[in-house]
Amino acid sequence: MQHIASFISRAAAVLGCALVSSGLASAQTITSFSPTYGNIGDSFVITGTGLLATTAVQINGELMSFTATATSLTVKVPPQASTGVVRVYTPTGSAVTSKGYRVTRLSTSLTFSATATAVTGAGTAGDFSTPCLADLDKDGLLDLIVGFGVYNGAVGSGSLYRYEQTSTTDGSFGTTPAGVALTTSTVTGGVAGTKTPISISNFAKPYITDLDGDGLLDMLVGETNGTVLLYEQAAATIFDPNNFESRGVLFANKEAVAADGYYCRPTVVDLDGDGLLDVLVGGNNGYLRRYEQSVAKGNTTAGFTDLGYIMDVTNAATPVPLDAGAVSKAQVLDIDGDGLLDLLVGNSDGNLYQYKQSAANVATFARVGTSTSSFNGISLGATQYAAPLIADVDGDGLLDLLLGNYNVGANVAGSTNVAGANVLRYEQANNNLRTPLPVVLTTFTGRTTVGGVQLNWATAQEINSEAFVVERSADGRTFTEVARIAAAGASTAARFYNYLDASAEGKTGAVRYYRLRQLDLDGTSEYSSVVAVSRGALLTSGAYPNPFTDALYVAQPGSPDSQAATATLISPTGQQVYAGRVQLSAVAQPLPGLPTLAPGLYVLRLTTATGATTTQRVIRR
């Protein structure tokens, strides 16, 4: 019954796409999500509008299971999740959260067991294995998809096989060692043709995500000639989750020397936190080339921009293309939960090299350890072609390192390999330390006083907090620092802060906008909501920025309480072009579901529940 329910849910999502395309739903907005951090397996709630038609929710390219209403999404953090921006997709568009979700860790240890065990159920029949994880049938159990170069002795088979997790608390996969072959079929006129096993031109290296957020999984497969092929679960064959339709070449080899692009392996992540997915492609030359989506739903060659190589800044004075050794296979994850991504790269010598993001939201990395030290001393030996994958596959809260390999059927001298294993497993050490949580800001308000603008804020918890930077703006767009207040550093009790801005100049009634930049000891920072306060006389309401482009915020400066109001926008011809509900308070709120308006002058009317009405002229650029 669980399988049937998941199929019905997926079929409904496809039907929803058809309904929305005929104009029966509007674009979604995201107003908040809470909490902003949590462990694998935890849930958080996204609130907004137009969310019932959601087709996919992602964090850093990893899909998250969810349940939807018109105004909320309850989302579960998946076993392979990493700190990053959350993107919500509906058939009419996509939206990102205002800041990233931080995946905390039961253990922050970078130490993994030195001895491998074979992943039970993944078989021993293949060589040159490259694993990835997904949930093909949406039943809540992980599917281990393994690409091979040789399978059952068939040299050059380039096969793809699926092994399903036995249970969410079990690190074994399937009861059939041979697995189930992924298939493809020719579709003519929307009718599925004969299904045949997918056959890549040797050395199939898969990664599964949902590039276009349509609820159908996309499989990127690197092959021998340096190209990345794209397959997608087709709506016409939605009741067979093992079947993928070919979408052709996503990326062709772009190296100066053709052979350098051979044996390429793709991985997907959002390096710079802009909500657009990055595809990193390793190759024979050991480099990693980065392609970023140029549009939010890009799933074609034209939908990506080639941004060149990932750079190594271990020697910051001379950044160079990151070279992790021949036949590089990358996995990107925040292993220790510090908010910085870790890049783990395997190579043909069976080694693993670790690099850490040099700062949050950048595409540059610095080497961890020496130039020859393999991650945790794990080395499979020469010609073993280590292919890393990290996730919590046994549900114990600790990360598992899975390694594809050559699998020659016997251990290589000095290697930690297990004879005849398609996929090896190493588990993270448990140091019983949870990742420090970010600062939890509970309130931020502002009001005018005789001495200036009084700002007050409170936190429920602080760990590794350094300071609160108070920033001010005259137009709601360009902010400058006016003060820096020391933070508690570490606190689990409520803490209260205040700052008096006596230098807020301007005529009576002029509005000033304030925000806080929460600065942590590791250099990472997050912004609070914006508070609008009038200087001198209090404004009944205010809107900013004015002129505006896409978003228009409204606030009731100086008010400690909030009240419900109806917001409408009237065109110069007297036509109402927008109506929505908003909570007026000192904290600025965006008008929910604001459509794309033609440039020009509009009248904003705010009417409270008591009948009080204010109007303001606003200009859409």
Residue 10 lies in a domain: no
Query: How many domains are contained in the chain?
Result: 4
- For every residue of 358-375, DSSP letters joined together read SSTT-SEEEE-S-SSPPG
Average pLDDT, stretch 440-467? 80
Residues 354 and 487 in one domain: no
Higher-scoring residue by pLDDT: 417, 429: 429
CA distances from 385 to 112, 148, 284, 312 (A): 19, 12, 11, 22
Residue 257 lies in a domain: yes
Higher-scoring residue by pLDDT: 588, 429: 429
Most confident region among 32-41, 358-367, 490-499, 610-619 by mean pLDDT: 358-367
Higher-scoring residue by pLDDT: 569, 11: 569
pLDDT band at 340 (very low <50, low <70, confident <90, very high): confident
Higher-scoring residue by pLDDT: 361, 509: 361
Residues 129 and 161 in one domain: yes
Residues 144 and 224 in one domain: yes
Residues 191 and 207 in one domain: yes
Residues 468 and 444 in one domain: yes
**Residue 410's pLDDT is what?**
46
Residues 291 and 336 in one domain: yes
Residue 417 lies in a domain: yes
Most confident region among 167-171, 208-212, 489-493, 505-509 by mean pLDDT: 208-212
Structure tokens at 156: 């050059």
DSSP state of 112: B
Higher-scoring residue by pLDDT: 412, 62: 62
- For every residue of 554-576, DSSP letters joined together read EE-TT-SS-EEEEEEEE-TTS-E
Higher-scoring residue by pLDDT: 20, 337: 337
Strand order in the sheet with 400-404: 117-118, 423-427, 400-404, 387-391
In sequence order, what are the beta bridge partners of 76?
A: 43
Q: Coil, helix or strand for 605?
A: strand
What CATH number is associated with residue 73? 2.60.40.10
pLDDT band at 15 (very low <50, low <70, confident <90, very high): very low
Report whether pLDDT(5) > 50.
no
Residues 207 and 342 in one domain: yes
Of 177-191, 213-227, 475-489, the range with the lowest mean pLDDT is: 177-191
**Residue 413's pLDDT is what?**
40
> What residues make up the domain containing 569?
542-620
Report whether pLDDT(576) > 60.
yes
Residue 24 lies in a domain: no
Average pLDDT, stretch 318-328? 90
Average pLDDT, stretch 268-290? 90
Report whether pLDDT(601) > 50.
yes
Residues 229 and 274 in one domain: yes
Residue 17 lies in a domain: no
Whether residue 618 contacts residue 546, with contact meaning beta carbons closer than 8 Å, is answered with: yes
Which of 535, 562, 580 terminates a domain? The answer is 535
Residues 221 and 85 in one domain: no
What CATH number is associated with residue 373? 2.115.10
Pick from 276, 290, 415: nearest CA to 349: 415
Mean pLDDT of the chain: 80
Residue 499 lies in a domain: yes
Higher-scoring residue by pLDDT: 580, 192: 580
Percent of the chain with pLDDT over 90: 26
Pick from 264, 207, 209, 168: nearest CA to 60: 209
What CATH number is associated with residue 571? 2.60.40.1930
Residues 387 and 324 in one domain: yes
Which of 361, 393, 427 terminates a domain? The answer is 427
Report the alpha-carbon distance of residue 603 to residue 608 in Å, rounded: 16
DSSP state of 1: -
Which of 470, 502, 535 terminates a domain? The answer is 535
| Diameter over CA atoms, the chain | 84
Residues 383 and 338 in one domain: yes
Of 370-384, 404-418, 460-474, 595-609, the range with the lowest mean pLDDT is: 404-418
**Residue 505's pLDDT is what?**
58
Residues 93 and 121 in one domain: no
Residue 20 lies in a domain: no
Whether residue 442 contacts residue 459, with contact meaning beta carbons closer than 8 Å, is answered with: yes
pLDDT band at 217 (very low <50, low <70, confident <90, very high): very high
> What is the bridge-based pairing of β-strands 440-449 and 423-427?
unpaired
Residue 416 lies in a domain: yes
